[in-house]
Structures are given as structure tokens and as C-alpha cells.
Structure 1
Amino acid sequence: MLKFIQKPLLMLLLFPLGLFAQNEKLTVSGYVKDNKNGEGLIGASVFVKELLTGTTTNTYGFYSLTLPKGNYTLVITSVGYRKSFRDIKLNDQNITLNVELQEDGQELEEVVVTGKREDDNVKEIEMSVNKVEMKTIKKIPALLGEVDLVRAIQLLPGVSTVGEGATGFNVRGGAVDQNLVLLDDAPVYNSSHLFGFFSIFNPDAVKDVKLIKGGIPAQYGGRASSILDVRMKEGNAKNLEVNGGIGFIFSRLSIEAPIIKDKASFIVAARRSYADILAKPFLTGNNANTKFNFYDLTAKVNYNINQNNTVFLSGYFGRDVFGNQFGFNWGNSTLSARWNHVFSSKLFLNTTAFYSNYDYLLDSDLENVRPNNRFRWTSNIENLSFKPDFTYYISPNNTLTFGGQVLTYSFTPGSATASSQSDVRSFGSPPKDGVEYSAYIGNEWKVSPKLSLQYGIRFSKYDYKSSEDVYYERKFVGFSDTYPSGYDLVTKVNDKNKILQSYSNFEPRFNLKLETGENSSIKASYNRMTQYIHLMSNTAAATPLDVWTSSTNNIKPQLTDQVALGYFKNFGENEYETSLEVYYKDFQNQIDYADRANLFLNPTFEKDLMFGKGRAYGVELFVKKNKGKLTGWTSYTLARTERQVEGLNKGNWYPNRFDRTHTLNVVGQYELNKKWSFGANFAFISGVPYSLPERQGVVEGLTYGITEGGVRGNIRVPVYNRLDISATKKNKKALFGKGESEWVFSIYNLYNRRNPFSIYTQPKTSTATAGSQQQAEEVVKSEAVRLSIIGSLIPSVTYNFKF
């Protein structure tokens, strides 16, 4: 099918270049920024009054408009800011026009649900995209009063999670590893602290949040389901600014200030939990030195060299620590260096180089008190990348994007050492390496005032190699108790660092928008995504100790094809925003696991893998109120996600472990006055499927579950529902009699519901009589147990300040 798609796409890409190549035109370009802190405004509108056309600023606040010679009035707008009118004369040469917008105090008294233009959901070609401002996220009631980005996006349509305490999130039937989470362009492999209860993103350091569920542009690749693009603040380039908060579970502090006013600035933000410090007086004996905390540090510096060159350097460093003498820790580290260069008023370049590392450690002797009697397990995934991205502004109606990337992977799926006295043994899975090469080209073309197209193609190539002397090839031996997957592995000799397997894929992308009225439009999209890395997890939910691994000669890359159709309409001068989307996703090369699969420290774990196909389809309804004292949204998703794997569930389709049929979220905020505001959110979600044995066997008095044909998803956990509320009281002054401050009072799980997380079986011992002499004996049976992670309401108080 792809060969029939590629040629028309290339013709479409080339056609507008000739169509708009005219000489009697000049260009106005520049940056739109916040006049208070110098931050570039993303998605600000630059509109030409006389021509009824315009553009929006990119991720860095840059815009470009190529127009016929003449005099024009530009109207520059962004929600939450006052309109700015600028008269320009395009007669002899191109013009550079930088604009700083002033915050609209009246607008800010209302909760603005999103920072984009009021009618972007209708007018822009993007679909299946949600942008949520940090101002809105901070008003959503949260666990222990702590603002959380990842929990906030789980309130959007098409987004869910396996349950409380689960790492990551799921989008439109995709697994946790199928989401590309970017922090200033660097990938983050575990977006959670404290086993999923909090995210790694410090709210005081985040500038912009964008979730792309479908219609994914050509510049994004590497994951099969979604993109979560998080951009950090650049730092206040005009004045010193301090933000912070003190809560029940952790405190945070951020400092941003100019290094050279209006040219260079920085931001540093830090958080640290202190549950272990508060609990220390109550811990005695062997538990006195128990550690359970997390911390993170986010930093960024930028320097505006001149009008055409700006450089950025940003990093994130975070870690979770749990345990006493025996324990574990895990953490992310990222470092991004970026260079923005304006070649001309029409050509913009962003070049990014980044380093990313995710690692975890499991150690039986964290305190190093028994060095000769120890077990230590480590695992990590590491990236290095170079990525140039070009934007060429052909005309107000036509924008071309192109670029490429080289991305290296280094995998340590699991490496362990065990020592007992003088005997030291090392074992685990062999390291793996890969290199992903990609190039893309895309075009956004406004064919007419009503019709817009966005199309492109991405090519990716992946080379897999191993530094070990051997590799394994799967061989089908038939399904049996010894080989539940049906496969065994054959060892073959390999030259070190030789490329063992190469994969290449074309990934076409296409979006269409047709305006059907002043405030309504129909949109359609198609995209293919390829993913060359995999998260090995056969537990009820992903955990920090799951294994990342490469596509190999045995593990093919995951492929996803998605089509979506949506209707978008606004009411009451954009006060109400509505959308209805339907989607269908086809998954190839999906991984499941044989019964009793061993994934950890197992050099031959690939024999326990089973491969098949998947499908996901659903309907998403979204209604949002953007203005007034009462704002918020309601989202409802009706969805299904299934897999079919030979050797499992008798070859029939079965629901995936993160399948949820119904998901309803209601979010509301009410501004009573300048001093008090209130928030609430309600969730009602179908239970996820689980697999329980169909019958039991007994060996030496102990029961074990028996399934026929690898049964999957034969029961469901009961429905999940929860109500959270919050109240915010703003104070006139903050610390030292300056700035602003507020108290946030919240209750999580207001009506004290014990929502189930999972269902499992465990042995149950009972006394029975047997034999002619009625002697009592113990009989071991099994019982089903329902596990709840949070089983009660949780009140909290947080103090936030800014000066």
C-alpha cells in the first residue's frame, strides 16, 4: 500500500513550491514575546488585516509572513494578552518586527483552559491534539495538593492509565512505551516519581504542554501511539523571579533571572520529598536508616547572541530512592543543547543535540555493610542524538518543514553480580546497541480559505548490533509445557559489533481540514508510526524495574497505522468548544508473553515472547467552557483495544490489559472572586481486564492456576470512580511582604472509595476432616483477592509563593 501513497505525497510536496515562487513579494518576520519576562509566545496569531490571512508563531515564538508589496496593519494576539496593532510598509526590503505583548489583567481573572487562540480547535489543521496551559493544570485538584502534569492529561479524551500507582499513561489503546515523552526535545523513559503517583515535571519550570494523539506531523517519530511534547521555561530575561511551594509530601523552589537583561537568562528549579525525614523519629532499630524519597533538578540557560542566533542549554536530573540495607533507586538524566538560526526572513533552523539516560539499581546492601555477601542488579537505556529541523515559510498559505536525525541507543537489559564470601558471579542479559537514522519532509498548505492540507513522509532506518560474541535465533519447536511460547533459541557465533539486523520503513502522514461554517470544521488524518524499542513488562502495570530492549533479529519493530475523523464546532463567540472524533488503529508486531515468562536477568528471554497483531478503535467526545467564572471540560471516550496472538486465548481476539470501555472525566473550576477559587474533578472509568486461571491443580498440597490455550482477559476489575475537590485562597503578599502567595486546600477521593487496582489469587489454608477416623488436616485452596492502592480520602494543604 505504501508504494501507492509515497508518489502522490512527493508530488504534493513539490507542487506548492512552484505555485508560490513569485518575485514581487517581501517578508516580515520576527519574534512575539511576553513583555513581562521575555519568554517567546507559542502559537500567537499574527494576522494581516487587509488580506484576511496570517500565521502563528512556532515553538520559539518566531513567525514569518511573505506578502505582496504594500502597506499593512498586523494584529498580534494571544489568549491572556492584549491585542497589539502594528503598521508596516513593505516597499523596498524585508522587515524584522519583534513584538512584546502585555498581559490582559481582566482576561487573567478568568481561568483560561488553553493558551492557544480561541478558535484554534476549528481553524487549525491539527486534530487529536490537546494543549493545556500550566495555569489550568495548577487549578485541577491533585493528590496531596501537588500539581501534576501527567495526571492532568489523563483527564483528556483518549488518555487513561492502568490504575493508581501505575507508571506512565496509555493513549488510544497504546502501551506505556508507545508514548514519546519529550522534555526540551530529549526523550524521557520514565515520567513518574513514587511509582506513578507524581510526574517528573516541575510545574514551576514548565512553559508549554502538547499531547498529540493522532495526525502526527512528519517531524515526530520513534513511537507507535502518541507524542507528549513538554517545553521548559527559558528564564525571566527582565527581572528576578522566585516561585515555590510547601506541601505535605515535598517542597519545591525555582529561581529565574536575567544574566544579561533582554539577552541571556536562566532558570533553576528543584524539588525534594521529605516523607522519610518526617517519619524518621518514628523509625527504630533496623528501620532507623530507611530511605524513601525522590528529588529532581531542572535547569535551563539561554543566550540571544544576535537577531539571527540564539542558543539554549537545558537539563533534567531526578531520582527515586527506596529501601534500607536492601532497596532500589531509579532516575532520568537529560541534557539538551539547541541552536536557533534565522538564515533569512523565510528560513528558520533549530538544531538539537541531546543526551538521555534512564537507569535503575536493585541492591541487597545499599549501605555497603556486607560487601562480601551481596546481590546487585543494574539496567539502563542511553541515547545520544543530533537533529536539525528546518522551517521554510514559502507564503502565508504554505510552510515547508524538513530535517533529519541520528539517534544512538545503548541497552543494558539487566546486569547482575552476586557475591558470597570470596565467590563472585556475574550474569544477566547481554548489552545491545542500535542506531536509528531518519529524514522527513512535510508541508502545510492552505489551498483555500476553507480547505487546508498537511502532508509529509518520514523515512527511518534502524541497525541492531551486539558487543557480545553470540546471539540467539528463534526456532519453532511446538507449543508445550516446556515451551509455552512454542519457540526455543539457537545460539550462533557472531563477530563483535557486527550489524545483526537492519530495518527500514516509510511513514506517510496526512491531515485535512475543511471549514463547514464560521465556527465549525471537519478534519481527517492518517499516520503511520514505527517504533524500534520495546518495554518488556508482564506485570499488571508497568513498573520502574521493567526492561527496555532493542528490536533484534527476533523482535521486529512495532508498526501502527491510524486513521481519524473529527467534527469541531464552537458556540457563543468561542465560549464553548466541542469536538467529536472517531479513530481506528492497526498494530503490527505486538508483543505478549508466554505463561510463566521470565524477563529479568534472563539472556534467553526472547524465547518467552509471543508476537501478534492489535487493533484499537473508539469515539471521543470533548466539551469545554473557556470563559467566565465557571470553566472546565467534560470528556467521554468509548473505546476498545484488542490483540490476537497465535498460542494465546485459543487464537481469538482478547482485550489488552489497558483496555477500558468507558472513560468519563468532568473537570470544573469556579472563580468566586479575586480571593477565592474552587476546583473539582470526577472520574468514572470501566475496569481493566485481568486473567484468572480457569481451574486449579495441586502439587504437594499447593495449588496452582491452570489455563487452557493461554486465556487472557477473562474477567474485569470493577468500575473505578473518584471525586476530588480543592479550594484556593489568594493572599495579598508572599514572603518578606512581597509578591504573591496562596493556600491550596484539597481532598483527593472525597467519598472514600476503595477503587480496585487488580485482582489476583493466593493460597488459602482451611481445616477439613478426612478419613474414617475424622482426622483434621489442612487443605490448601486458593482465593481471589482485590487490591486497592488508595482506599481512603486524602486531605492536604499546600502553600505556594511567587515574588
Structure 2
Amino acid sequence: MQTSFLKIATATAALCFSTFAIAQQKYSVSGTIKDKKNGELLIGVTVKVAEDPTINVVANEYGFYSLSLPEGNYTMIISYPGYRDFEQQIKVDQNIKLDLPLSQEEQSVGKIDEVVISGIKKDKNLTSAQMGTETLSIKNIEKLPVLFGEKDVMKTIQLLPGIKSNGEGSSGFSVRGGATDQNLILLDEAPVYNASHLLGFFSTFNSDALKDASIIKGNSPAQYGGRLSSVMDVKMKDGNNQDYNVNGGIGLISSRLSVEGPIQKEKSSFIVSGRRTYADLFLKSTDDFKDSKLYFYDLNLKANYQINDNNRLYLSGYFGRDVLGIGKTFSTDWGNTTATLRWNSIINSKLFSNTSFIYSNYNYKISLESNDNTFGLNSQIEDWNLKQDFTWFAGNKHSVRFGFQSIYHTLTPSSASGTSVSSFPRNPRYSWENAVYMNDDFKASDKLTVNYGLRLSTFSVLGGDTFNTYENGTLTGSQYLEKGKFGKTYVNLEPRITANYRINEVSSVKGGYSRNTQNLHLLSNSSSGNPTDQWIGSSYTVKPEIADQVSLGYSRNFNHNNYEINAEIYYKSMQNQIDFKNGAQITFDTAADVESELLFGKGRAYGLELIAKKKSGKLTGWISYTLSKTERKINGINDNEWYDARMDKTHDLSIVATYELNKKWSVSGLFLYSTGNAVTFPTGKYELNGQTIFQYSSRNADRMPAYHRMDLSATYEPETTKRFRGSWSFGIYNLYGRENAYTITFEDNPNNPGTTRAMQTSLFRWVPNITYNFKF
């Protein structure tokens, strides 16, 4: 009897389990989402299921999405800013591959029909677990007033909270108390080591060639690494695979031109975008400067080819150069070269692969010639990079990223040569940086979303040079490491987690923790950064920089998500921070080891970030404010006490607004205010051999004057034909002529040699601009 009962129970359980398994069987619906007009893959498109509001997935940065559904009939709803919502009826009884084309919203007559690629849902600030992230709309950028009339993503991000400009005209920026080099800047996955032209007045990014730009302030997912403070991820357009287009602009000192179109319609496409300044042409018209050179150029190239429905190849490159010279006396040039070969593969309905081979090179050269004396200085950093990334849509609740990255670095230190210095060849230094990572975006419930991950990074010093060891700037040891040999290896675990809890339909709270490490370091003695600043790698003396950041945030939306307010507080603790010792001798003597002039310690940064946005209507814009503190504590500096870091600014305020007057005219304006950078001014002086020597006390105990200015611009978009469209942009930079300090130097007062006077240098008072933009 007992045996019979067990048999019956077992059979019943098996039948129930079988029925349950059949009922629960799910199928995959996956594919890519494109712009119907030009074939561009769209980033961050939202895919929902009308019958089950809890199913809500987002396409990755390569336009791929995947969701799981039980057997049945469904209505898929696809939505994306700037595009018409799209509905698709589907019957699910097997795995389905469904590629979806989206159409742009109809534009009013006279408006430039340009893609708004921001990847931002109106309530994304309430639903996403990712903290400290901003995605920029390329279309909105073009309306903002900027220096010389150039729309610029680098200048625009400096209008956001927690991101501070390093100075007038500079594209260098500081994020949450970090130095300029603590920002990872990527262009199609390739690192850009100097993202500026003309000493920072322009950035390397030609917005005509860009598809998407986003910045993450410290709480980055595990697939990003190598920098402490932020990741700026910039992606180029793929190129129109439906039709040929030409667009560009003609300005007062620079012009640009882009051409894109299909190589084989719907299968392959290309884009070529170039830009050049021509200030040097005006110099040639003067007798004093006719032999001078002052210009930059850059070129963006990209092509892609669809091998089949599941595989696509991309090849992109960037080439940029600055040239500055005064006759035969002085010349300098610097620039970046990057190249990315990428293979996208849909392995199956749930697994997406991206394999990238990446090359990056930054170098500069300086030459001086006076009578019979010559002098030259050069430096270079070169990377070869292999990256393998997988996206696994494990279910409607999990989107998992995992993979590895391997970078071979070659850093050539600043090397001088010539008749006026002792010439000693500097050996390149080699290193190998590796990382493996895993990251999961987990929708735990309707209200709770968690993004967590782990990154394991290693950095190995490779042979080919002599490595000295210093303790507080004093030489304690030296060893030669043969080329090809492994030296010191640093290993670091980097956990990251962020979580978002949606309180109700209009508000949410967030929290997060992240650890980041950095093994490449920029040595700079200025706040704004110069092309000749020197990159060095971790070594026997220089250890990896480490940052631990904790942040909390609150978001609230109003009026059907057309208004939003976001607030975040953060605290960041930093290890192995680098600064020059007091009286550091930074010379061009190539026999000197710059590591002997360095000291190491800790840092901390904390602050409050606020931003209020109006996202729709005739008037749009935002107000952002940051209250923050950034300090360093390094033995041997400032009596071993905490001191303000160079990038410390207590207050930082930005007000940005755009107003549509009518179908043809719109006006924009911005106002900026910030506390001046921390600097060290002399506290006394004495005379030695007829020369005045200034004395300094506490490091960064003084302040530059507060910085503020207002810019205005107007855009005129006349009625155009179906094929040709044009617009005019008029603007003025620094409307009320504020003479902001670029540098302050000190000298003996000629009227009273016993006293000292401060001399302020300002760059711009009023800078008008006129630009004509066209597209056909």
C-alpha cells in the first residue's frame, strides 16, 4: 500500500512539474533597433510589453535588445525621444528575431531635421540605478552659446553639477575633486589622452561626427576602469546607409565639413568629417607674424559592413594635430591618433558580443632655435588594446555584462636634445594592464533596481629601463630590468554597486559605492593643463591611485516629467595621490628622474550637487549648483597638514536657457559663476645677486578671483527646400566684458621696488561669432 502511494505521488508530482514547466516555458524576442531614415543603430531605446507593464528592457549601446515572454500574443511598444512611438503585434510560440525601424517625429517647417540622440526617457532619473550619469543631446548642444561659435560636448558637460572647468577657454575639467588625468575620455572605445585643441579653446570632438556622448561621475559600471573620477564615453555616427548627405559650417576662424552615405545600401556605410581653423591666414597678412603658424585640424573617419544578420564590422579613426610656431625661432605641435576595429556578433537571442582592437597615440614635439643654439623636447604615449565584451540578457530582470580588457602601454618620457642641454636618450617604459569584469543590472522589483559588479585589474611594470626607488624624494635603490622581463605587478579588486528605489510615480532615492584604481598619471604644474604635461605609469615608487566613493541621491519629477530636480551628495577618499615636493626642480635635463621630485599621500573630496531642469516647451534649460571641498594631505607639504587641492572650488553655478521665439528664431543664454582655483601666492621676497626671489608659505592657501560671465546666442533657421537646409548662428561670448583672470604673476613695483605688484592676464573680453550651417 505504501509503495503504491509513493508511485502515485511521484507520478502526480512529475505530471505537475511537467505541466508547470510547459506553462512557464519562455521564448526570446530579440533584435536591433535602427533609425528608419539613415540606418543608425539607436542607443538606449525602451522596449515595453503592453500586456505586462513589468517587462521593460533597454537596448544596449549597439542597438541590441532581448526579452523573454511566455507563449501568447503581445503588443510591443518601442519609445525613444525624438521618434514616434512604435507598436508591433507579435505572436510568440518560438524564438523570434525582430529588427525594428523607428521614424523621427515630424518637424515643423523651417526646422532642421536632425536626430536627437540622447537615450533619455523622461523618467529615466527615477528608474535607472546608475548614479551621477548625464547623457547629452547633440542637437541641444548646437544651440548653446560657446567660444568662437563651436558647439562642443566638452564645454557643455562643464555646465553640469560636479564637473568644473579648469580655466578660461580650457577643455580640461575636474569631476568631484579629481584631477584632469582622472577622467577616462573614450572616442569609439579608444582613450584620448589630450582632448583639446589650441591650448584648450576647442575640444577634439567635432560634434558633426558624433552619435552619442555620456559622462559617469565615479559610479561607473564594472566594464569601465583605469581612472578615478569619471568616464566620458563618446561614440561616432555610423554613417547613413540609405542616402548621401553633406553638412557643415563656416565660421569666423574655423570651418567643418561632413560627408556620409551608403557604400552598399542598407548593408554598409561611411562618414568622413573634417575641421580646420584658419587664424594663421590672418597672421600671414601682417608683416610681424607672416611667418607664424597657428591652426589645428582634425579628421573623423568611420565605415561599417554588415556581414550577415548577426555580424557587423566597424572601422573608425580619428586624426588631429595642433601646430603653433613663430618663424624659425619656435614651433610646437601635438596631436592624437586613434583607431578602432570592432566586430559585433549576435551569438544567440540572449547573448551579444563586441570584440574591439584599439590603437591610441598621443605625442608632442617642441623645438627652439636661437643663434647657434637649438633645443628640442618630445614625449609620447602609445596603447595597443584588446577588449572583449559580452552582454547576456539572462531574463527580463537581469542584463549582465562581462568580459576582459588587455592594454600594452608604451610611455616615452619627456626627452630633450640640442646644443643648450645635456642630451641623454630616455628609454621608453613598457607596461601591461589587464582586467576582467562582471556587471549585472538587476530589476529586483517594480520599485527596486540594483546595478552591481566587480572588476579585477592588474598592472605589470615591464623591463627595458632602469627603475629607481625613492622614499620622500630620497633615492633608496636602483635596478635595471631587462626588456621582456616582468617587474612589479599591482593587483586590485574594484567592487561597485548602485541601487534605485522608486518611492512613487514622481520620486526616487539612490545610493551607491564604488572603488576605482588608476595606473597612468599626468604630471602637471598648472591648473588648466598643457600639451607638454608628462604622463607616467605606476612603477616601483609610483603606486596605483585608489578612490572609494559613497554617494546618495534624490530625484523628483513634476508636471508629467517635464520638470525634474536631482540632488546628490558624495564623499570620496583617495589613496596614493601625487604632488610635486616643495621647490621641485622641473627641468629639461633628460638625465633627471622626475620621480625624485614627487611626494605621495591621500586626498578627500565631498560635496552637494543640485540640478533643476525644464525639458519641454518653448523655454527649456537647467540650473545647476555644486557646493564642494577637495583636499590633499601629503607628508612633506604644508607641514603634513591638509591643504586645498588646485581644483578645489567651493561654489560652482551654471544657468542655461533656450527659448523658441517662433519657427525661425531661437535664443540661448548661459551664466556662470565659480570660486577661483586654489593657488600659492608669495608671502615675502629677498634679493640675491641682483635678482628678486619670492618666498612662499602654505600650499594653495590663496585664491584666484571669482570667475563669472554671461554668453548669448541666436539661431535663425529659414524655410528651406526638402533637400537643402541652412541656418545662421550669431553669438557673443562674455556679454558684459568681465576680465576674468587667466594667470596672475608677481613682480617688483617699478615705482617702489620695496613693494610687489600683482599682474593679471585676461584672455577675452568680448568675442562675437557668426556661423553658417548647412545640410543637403
Which category of TM-score, normalised to the shorter sequence, fits these structures? over 0.9
SS in 2 for 1:607: helix
Q: Partners of 2:661 and 2:332 in 1: how far apart? A: 46
Q: Which amino acid is 2:761 matched to?
A: L
Give the match for residue 660 of structure 2: 671
Distance change in 2, residues 1:745/1:434 (3 Å): same
Matched to 2:313, the amino acid is V
Q: Secondary structure at the match of 2:596?
A: helix
Which of 246, 260, 264 is residue 242 of structure 1 equivalent to?
246
Aligned-partner Cα distance in 2 for 1:107–1:454: 40
Q: CA deviation at 1:430?
A: 3.6
Matches within 5 A, 1:326-725: 326-364=330-368, 373-419=373-419, 426-427=423-424, 429-468=426-465, 470-475=466-471, 485=473, 487-488=474-475, 490-601=477-588, 602=590, 603-708=592-697, 711-725=698-712
Opposite residue 145 of structure 1, the aligned amino acid is G
SS in 2 for 1:276: helix
* Equivalent residues of 2:311, 2:345 under 8 A apart: yes
Q: Report the equivalent of 2:743.
A: 758
State the partner residue of 2:36: 35
Q: Which residue of 2 aligns with 1:268?
A: 272
| Cα distance between partner residues in 1 of 2:499 and 2:745 | 47
Give how far 1:538 is off.
1.5
- Encode CA deviations 1:85-134: one digit per residue, 9 max, x unaligned: 0011111x210111111111259979979441111111111110001110
Distance 1:765 1:700, change over 3 A: farther
Question: 8 Å contact 1:532–1:557 — kept in the other structure?
Answer: yes
User: Does the 8 Å contact 2:29/2:349 carry over to 1?
Assistant: yes
Q: Which amino acid aligns with 1:572?
A: N
Please report how far the alpha carbon of residue 631 of structure 1 lies from its aligned counterpart in structure 2 after TM superposition: 0.4
Q: Which amino acid aligns with 1:81?
A: Y
Report the equivalent of 1:9. none
Letter of the structure 2 residue corresponding to residue 234 of structure 1: D
Q: Does residue 1:179 correspond to 2:183, yes or no?
A: yes
Letter in 1 for 2:609: E
Deviations 1:386-440 (A, max 9, x none): 00000110111111110001101100111222148xxx96326442111001000
Q: Which residue of 1 aligns with 2:724?
A: 739
The alpha carbon displacement at 1:164 in A equals 1.0
Distance 1:748 1:113, change over 3 A: farther
1:125–1:511 contact (8 Å) kept in structure 2: yes
Is the contact made by 1:167 and 1:543 (CA closer than 8 Å) also made in structure 2?
no
> Relative to 1, partners in 2 of residues 1:541 and 1:633: Cα closer, same or farther, differing over 3 Å?
same
Per the alignment, residue 169 of structure 1 pairs with 173
Deviations 1:678-713 (A, max 9, x none): 1001101111111112222221232212234xx212
Q: Which moved more, 1:695-704 or 1:47-56?
A: 695-704
Change (3 A) 1:600 1:349: farther
Matched residue of 1:277: which SS? helix
Matching residue of 1:6: none
Residues 699 and 522 (structure 1 numbering): CA distance in 2 closer, same or farther, change over 3 Å? same
Partner Cα distance (2:105, 2:586) in 1? 55
Amino acid in the other structure paired with 2:127: K
SS at 1:201 equivalent: coil
Is 2:766 the counterpart of 1:793? yes
Give the equivalent residue in structure 1 for 2:291: 289
Aligned 8 A contact 1:186 1:335 in 2:
yes
Assess if the C-alpha contact under 8 Å between 1:458 and 1:507 holds in 2. yes
Matches for 1:310-329 after TM superposition, within 5 Å:
310-323=312-325, 324-325=327-328, 326-329=330-333
How big is each residue's C-alpha offset from its partner over 1:534-589, in whole Å with a ceiling of 9 and x where there is no partner?
A: 00112243111100011100000100111110011111111101101001111100
Three-state SS of the structure 1 residue aligned to 2:381 is strand
SS in 1 for 2:285: helix
Q: Secondary structure of the equivalent of 1:121?
A: helix
Alpha-carbon distance in 2 for matches of 1:187, 1:610: 27
Q: Distance in 2 between matches of 1:21 and 1:452?
A: 29
1:618 and 1:638 in contact (8 A); partners too: yes
* 1:728-759: CA deviation from partner (whole Å, max 9, x where unpaired): 1112238xx94110010000000000011233
Work out whether 1:124 is the aligned partner of 2:128: yes
Cα separation, 2, equivalents of 1:317 and 1:492 = 38
Q: Mark the CA change 1:599 to 1:306 in structure 2 (over 3 Å): closer, same or farther.
A: farther
- Aligned residue for 1:73, secondary structure, equals strand
Cα gap change, 1:693 to 1:390, in 2 (>3 Å)? same
Q: CA deviation at 1:268?
A: 0.1
Question: Contact conserved, 1:276 with 1:292, CA < 8 A, in 2?
Answer: yes
- Relative distance call for 1:489 and 1:599 in structure 2 (3 A) is farther
- Which of the numbers 299, 302, 323 marks the counterpart of 1:300? 302
Question: 1: CA distance between counterparts of 2:728 and 2:272?
Answer: 23
- 1:497 is displaced (CA, Å) by 3.8
Q: Look up the SS of the partner of 1:71 in the other structure.
A: strand
User: What residue number does 2:8 align with?
Assistant: none
Q: What residue number does 2:51 align with?
A: 50
1:90 aligns with 2:92: yes
CA drift at 1:498: 2.7
Checking the alignment, whether the CA contact within 8 Å between 2:155 and 2:171 is kept in structure 1 is: no
CA distance in 1, matches of 2:227, 2:758: 36
Deviation, structure 1 residue 377: 1.3
Amino acid at match of 1:242: V
Return the offset for 1:719. Answer: 1.1
Instruction: Report what 2:10 is aligned to.
Output: none
- How far does residue 599 in structure 1 lie from its aligned partner after superposition? 3.8
Counterpart CA distance in 2 for 1:398 and 1:22 is 21
**CA 1:694–1:255 in 2, change beyond 3 Å: closer, same or farther?**
same
Q: Which runs of 4+ in 1 moved over 4 A?
A: 20-23, 106-115
CA distance in 2, matches of 1:113, 1:524: 27
Where in structure 1 are there 5+ consecutive unaligned residues? 1-19, 477-484, 768-778
Summarize deviations over 1:12-58 as a string: whole Å, max 9, x none: xxxxxxxx999711000011111111101111110011111210111
Q: 1:442–1:455: 8 Å Cα contact kept in structure 2?
A: yes
For 1:445 and 1:335, how far apart are their aligned partners in 2? 34
Quick one: distance in 1 between partners of 2:283 and 2:230?
Answer: 39
Is the 2:218–2:228 contact (alpha carbons within 8 Å) kept by the matching residues of 1?
A: no
Shift of 1:766: 4.2
Structure 2 residue identity aligned to 1:610: L
- 2: CA distance between counterparts of 1:472 and 1:795? 52
* RMSD between superposed Cα atoms in Å: 2.1
Q: How far apart are the structure 1 equivalents of 2:545 and 2:252? A: 42
What SS does structure 1 have at the residue aligned with 2:121? coil
Say whether the 8 Å CA contact 1:80–1:115 is kept in structure 2.
no
Mind listing any 5+ residue stretches in structure 2 that lack a counterpart?
1-20
Percent identity between the two aligned chains: 45
Q: Indicate the SS of the match to 1:223.
A: coil
SS in 1 for 2:84: coil
C-alpha contact (below 8 Å) 2:748/2:756 kept by paired residues: yes
